[in-house]
Structure 1
Amino acid sequence: MTAPVGHTDKIAFLERHGTDALAHSGADLLAHLQGVHDLLRAWDCGDALCDAGLFHSVYGTEIFPTGAVPLELRPAVRELIGDEAELLVHLFGTVARGSIFDAAFDGAPFLLETRTGEHIGVTDRQYTDLAALTVANWLEQRPRFPESAQLSRAREFDEMRRHLPDAVRHALEQAYGFDPLTLPAI
């Protein structure tokens, strides 16, 4: 069994791949990655989701196609953050962002569309994690956007709330001014 990799080693890996020199949403990519990680940690998300937040766009995404880490290094990333976190990172980079929002309306079973037009199914848990990652990704960079854009995708985020962990949902409600959502007890 491999010993857990510390946060410092993960940051060093990201720095070796130039994330601190790559512009992203009015900051550098490393600052954004750390900010997403820190939001997820503050919301008491699990280690795998927090690590996914730290690496979420290193392969590039539909909206941020400039990846810092080539896909050939997926095994190295997996070694650093684990299988579950790396799969979330890969999904976050592969799936069309609109598909994550559309799935909030469609509900389970969750079928997402990739940027190449393929459809892939994800588990309820993977969708919840991708939704939380989408919220953290947006809320971290949102203050750096013009005020006119800060409430973008309100309808989609409103629908996504029912799929989010409580702390993530509350943060989204506060940011958008949504009335708190009351979910049925399970």
Structure 2
Amino acid sequence: MTYSSINVKDKFLALKALGVGEFEHLNGNLETHLYETYQLLVNWGNPDFVCDAGLYHAVYGTQAMKDLGIPCKEFSPSDRPNIRKIIGNNAENLVYLYGACDRDYFYPQIGSPNPIYRDRFDQSEKRLPGSTMQNILEITMANELQLCISSSSFRNDNRDWFIALFDRFEGIVSNNAFRLYRDLFTA
């Protein structure tokens, strides 16, 4: 069976089989967060592979999860072929880039010409193609906005940080994503 023959329900069940529902997340369990992140990406009209990457975006852990001490599976290169079988090469590549992102290095560069992406696992650096940058930032926005939607206190406590970051996403992420951000933060 190839990833293209696996429907979203089965991709979600495969994700659950990895144990994601067992981990707590900032505003509930990780399973709910991942599904709602996926739904935002669908609602914004993203391609299937971007939505699938949103569903699996934390499967390799993230810098934020590590920094907050949230239990997550440690990344292993041997996991990548198994994830590719479920969601395909394009989605898995985005999942890897999202999980491997050195946010403290990369995020401050967003909006500047030719930002450099740094991999937190191997410290390699590169410029991302424009479409890859857009997809990573779209997933980033979906991830963070899902947290903001599920907790007004989280949104208010981190308001200045989100505004400073997301204002620089304008013209890179989809209009639908940027509009939701503006609606949440101008209310």
Superposed, 1:153-164 pairs within 5 Å as 153-164=162-173
Query: What count of residue pairs does the alignment treat as equivalent?
Result: 177
Structure 1 residues 58, 83: closer, same or farther in 2, change over 3 A? same
Structure 2 counterpart of 1:131, from 126, 129, 137: 137
2:158 maps to which residue? 149
Q: Which has the higher contact order (CA 8 A, sep 6+)?
A: 2
Corresponding residue to 1:115 among 120, 129, 140: 120
Residue of structure 2 equivalent to 1:182 = none
TM-score by length of 2: 0.85
| Identical aligned residues as a percent | 25
Distance 1:20 1:73, change over 3 A: same
Task: Indicate conservation of the 8 Å contact 1:17/1:69, yes or no.
Answer: no
* Matching residue within 167, 175, 178 for 1:169: 178
1:61-80 CA-to-partner distances (Å, cap 9, x unmatched) read 10113434753221111111
Partner of residue 61, structure 1: 62
Amino acid at match of 1:64: M
Paired residue secondary structure (2:72): coil
Counterparts of 2:35 and 2:119, CA distance in 1: 25
For residues 24-103 of structure 1, the aligned pairs below 5 Å read 24-65=25-66, 66-68=71-73, 70-71=75-76, 72-103=78-109
Q: Which amino acid aligns with 1:113?
A: R
Distance 1:102 1:70, change over 3 A: closer
TM-score normalized with structure 1 length: 0.86
Could you list the per-position Cα deviations for residues 93-129 of structure 1 after superposition, in whole angstroms to 9, with x for gaps in the alignment? 1011234422322233x42122254312211000000
Matched residue type, 1:42: N
Query: Matched residues in 2 for 1:45 and 1:163: separation?
Result: 13
Structure richer in helix, relative to its length: 2
Amino acid at match of 1:57: A
* Cα deviation, residue 12, structure 1: 1.5
Unaligned runs of 5+ in 1: 179-186
The secondary structure found in structure 2 opposite 1:63 is helix
